[in-house]
Amino acid sequence: MIDFTLTEEHRLVQQSVREFAAAEIEPHIREWDANHEVHLEVFRAMGELGYLGAPIPERYGGAGMDYISLAILCEELERADTAFRVIMSVHVGLNSLALLQWANEDQKQRFLVPQAQGRKLATFALTEPGSGTDAAALRTTARRDGDDYVLNGSKIWISLADVADHFLVFATVDRERRHRGITAFLLERGMPGLETGTLQGKLGIHAGNTGTLTFTDLRVPAANRVGEEGEGFLVAMSAIDQGRYTVAAGAVGLAQACLDASVRYAHERETFGQEIGRHQLVAQMLAKMDAGIQAGRLLVWKAGWLKNRGARTTRETSLAKWFATEHSVQSALDAIQVHGANGYSNEFPVERYLRNSKAAVIYEGTSQLHQLIQADYLMGYREDRPIRCEPLPAEGFDRLPPSARA
């Protein structure tokens, strides 16, 4: 039986992250966004509260939370601003959960434990200037040389590129083998031959860092290879399943922020002698926002419920990501319409919501890709095969702040 009633532990997580966002993000985010400021102290505070190791078992330094708790964290953080959900996606979803599933014990101790404890920031590097959706076409190479691999190439659109300490990077040992030649590696900032840079001119997510990586004869110990040669594509795809889940949950939060702002404004603004919320076409937009939020949240929680049982959820997370991100864009557009001319100004947050919403229908697989994925499942062209993974049972909430445990 599926029960979507939040447990007391889930509500404590929700209370904790809402209080954190209200105190540490919301009072400052307009200024940070306008000035393109990245505030690492907020990331560190998230680590101290256990958010950066939320679903990682306690034996590896995490908080042992379940996937519903992870969804709640992502939803509430993006409700404040997308930049802080992005950290959960790349640090937790794409990197740490991938290491939990694929890394050996030595790698978990060296990389996963400090990440789960919030002492090190981590990211994920797959996309290249010439390959995005077609991940098998990447051109970064890895050549075996004794006990090392030598990497050459570049990555782009990498979240936290200029601030991360650890990098899960994908390179090919044999281009002719396409996806079967891709191999995963763990890199650390400061390795000779690794350079990072920040991308300028982004449409949105101005309070978050996005950049480039360049590898020039970068020597990586073979001990830093994750999995076997040629398993990198499987590592990447299983990681992206996790990342899509966090993106979907965050998109629900962004749509909720749009609705919150719109309801508030619809009460405050009057035309023709009454609140604009009394006008049927405004009320219609509000109702559609709410319906989509509830549907998106249920899709996310269904995927989380399955994940808590160790099931592979490629189909479910794809559907949740597609629906929730598309709905967040439409919610932002409608929120600006509700606000009228004021929605076109950064005096009101809905302008930022629209700019931030657009990225999520592109990264972690475009909406068009997800439509094709869903159609392939419907037609029987695609079926899931098991991917090596470790179920994530909740192991306690010992890293929640005292105020949330009280």
Strand partners, 187: 167
User: Helices (DSSP H) in 310-349: which residue ranges?
Assistant: 314-339
Gap between the Cα atoms of 230 and 401, Å rounded: 42
Pairs from 11-15 (Cβ < 8 Å, separation ≥ 24)? 12/397, 12/400, 12/404, 12/405, 13/65, 13/69, 13/72, 13/73, 13/397, 13/400, 13/404, 14/72, 14/76, 15/404
CA distance 89 to 360: 11
Paired with 116 in beta bridges are: none
| Phi and psi angles of residue 140, each rounded to the nearest 5 degrees, phi first | -65, 130
SS3 9: helix
Question: Which phi and psi angles does 226 have, rounded to 5°?
Answer: -95, 115
Closest CA to 324 of 216, 392, 233, 245: 245
Q: How many CB atoms lie within 10 A of CB 326?
A: 19
Distances from the Cα of 327 to the Cα of 50, 294, 367, angstroms: 30, 11, 11
Q: Which two tokens stand for residue 325?
A: 């991100």
Active site residues: 364
